Structure 1
């Protein structure tokens, strides 16, 4: 398959500052898609000439684009000869139409036409190239990267990039900053507009990181480049524009709570009505569920959402669906998800197993409510992907009996978790036991019995 799409990284200087060979590549595209500030450097060209040796104008344009692309891959200074520059061009300029799903569709509608997408910096670093790669075969497109704004920002700040967290808050909730707020941590963030920095400053102050240094790096690499720095507690967004990278050098107050991505956050980190998997058991549960990048968890009977939230915090791009029937708990889940940096947690209201129907197949399931309900378990087990993991925690005798039956049928590990915490009887100290938790963890095999014997 011949590449019909070329995704070109552009800096603040615009298309005019691209290398000559890359500009030539743009000139042979039938369609150019990008933001208005980049398209402003181009003019739509509509012309028509005949050429008897070639079957169609489309073939001319495709062959011309391929010739230029080959020259670029060969590190040449220009296109291979002959390029049919005398045949004429027909170029259409298309401005991006957010949101992202629309932008992807704008490109996919051009499939087969010689098309160039103009993107900022490195298209594969939180750019449109990364999104399009999920919809295209590798043979269909070529990436022409430029230095990322992250690289420019790290150079200006003299921060070793390998020790910096690079995240995107562009088009995303600014609460996504929370998992990265850690003592001594440095973060570079893409932003949506001036309001993003204001939200981040508020989050830092609320978390006890008001002394953190915030650096706004505007129009990096352009003539209007500007860099300003201040403490989060003193930050004012009135004077900044909408095109900038935000640098954060986290400085914690002595009393700031430590909330790392390692499972087992303090119980006090969650808003709850008491329906909470306690810290020690929660850490053991997440370890058994084994989060990994991009994996999907079902948290069935989510309570305040602690398992789903810690799952998403533990691995890059991990996803979760929290199933809960109680209205007040649904609000608690949403509050906790935002406060702990996973605002994209999906929350589903309804009575399970009915509420599970039609949901994406999970890679892991945590069963924390109605554990003894065989119909609920069967619905979860049927939905789980082969090779997926299911973990169920029981505290009642009925739930324990159900776990024993299922373990005898499907195998897996049964573990009793006993935790005791410091308490007092009069003037004497004791370790007071909590309710023990029986935990069953099992991996679904590729071949399994469809019904319980």
Structure 2
């Protein structure tokens, strides 16, 4: 299969030379409805137009049935979160030729006169917040964002406010190159209360650095009322994160998250991490959300209830599991974890009682997990903690 993919802007196309000859010498074209409005006057008589729309599988079937070279029109740069990548993935052996235009983010950089050397771009268009959360936690200096109707500039601004990233200002481009083009530079609060043209993109510009400690002090976390010691202490937390070896493990399950201190610290150090946190106590959900907002940590998936009664099959399988609590059912919990834990996955527990230490060692051996040497820590006047690690 052969595809020629031509990037266009947001105004009526006016090609000449090579591109015009390319269009005139072909009969099958494809693109969105808006693209057709911008290039229709250039297409030869008797052409076939295959609209790019969901479900994409129908479009692919049309390409395959025709079996002809297709000229595809795309917005901006077809290789920038564009259809060229989709076609390359679908048809790895196809001949694909691209003729790019400026992407919307490039146009906004030019309009705002920003340093594109610093730019890192993510897309939330039809996607989750995960990619944006990662670069926000990393506090990248310049973040370009491809939006959609749900994850609009105002929704992005509200997310910045929710997690305390008021150290960013927001450049918003609307209807670039169109009749209603507008470029605005706003503070998050103003952007959160505004309405924008549906064709838009965003750049976040870091105006100052937000400092968050490496190893957050325990007293800064909101905790359970009347139980200030119900938190994984900071030195123990950092040693536990070291044992979990999260740099090479994309998914973490935090069982018994309580205040969320370990999940929060883990996400701050490894922003790409996918975290699923479990807790029985309903009041801990609000505590977790408060601590997430306070420390600027979006992207932790929380589940309240008995983990043995929770549907885990739809979750990403973990390569790391932290056990913050087991309710006296450690053997059952380890057996359950073994069903989901990927090969070479690690399990870490902080144990106080000898019974928990002995049970973890015994049950890990029954499951043929490899045990590391235990690490014992005593923080101030608190009970000695034994950090145990096993690898599947």
Q: TM-score range by the shorter chain?
A: 0.7 to 0.9
- Summarize the alignment of residues 59-138 of structure 1 with structure 2, pairs less than 5 Å apart: 91-94=48-51, 96-97=53-54, 102=55, 104-110=56-62, 112-113=64-65, 114=68, 118-127=73-82, 136=90, 138=92
- Aligned partner of 1:12 in structure 2 is 10
Separation in 1, partners of 2:194, 2:288: 33
| Number of equivalent positions | 379
Separation in 1, partners of 2:271, 2:338: 25
2:353 matches 1:403: no
The alpha carbon displacement at 1:311 in A equals 4.3
Q: Is the 8 Å Cα contact of residues 372 and 399 (structure 1) preserved in structure 2? A: no
- Give the secondary structure class of the aligned counterpart of 2:38: coil
- Aligned partner of 1:443 in structure 2 is 391
Over residues 21-54 of structure 1, what are the superposed CA-to-partner deviations in whole Å (9 max), with x where a residue is unaligned?
A: 38836984746243x322323559xxxxxxxxxx
2:126 matches 1:167: no
Identify unmatched segments of 5+ residues in structure 1: 45-84, 421-431, 445-453
Match of 1:418 among 367, 377, 392: 377
Decide which structure has the larger Cα Rg and report it: 1
- Aligned partner of 2:35 in structure 1 is 38
Separation in 1, partners of 2:16, 2:284: 54
- Aligned partner of 1:218 in structure 2 is 174
Separation in 2, partners of 1:288, 1:228: 47
Match of 1:367 among 323, 334, 345: 323
Identify unmatched segments of 5+ residues in structure 2: none
Separation in 1, partners of 2:193, 2:279: 39
Q: Is the 8 Å Cα contact of residues 371 and 389 (structure 2) preserved in structure 1? A: yes
2:130 matches 1:190: no
The alpha carbon displacement at 1:377 in A equals 0.7
2:206 matches 1:258: no
The alpha carbon displacement at 1:394 in A equals 1.9
Separation in 2, partners of 1:288, 1:240: 47
The alpha carbon displacement at 1:418 in A equals 2.5
Separation in 1, partners of 2:40, 2:262: 54
| TM-score, structure 1 as length reference | 0.65
Q: How big is the alpha-carbon RMSD for the aligned residues of Structure 1 and Structure 2?
A: 4.4
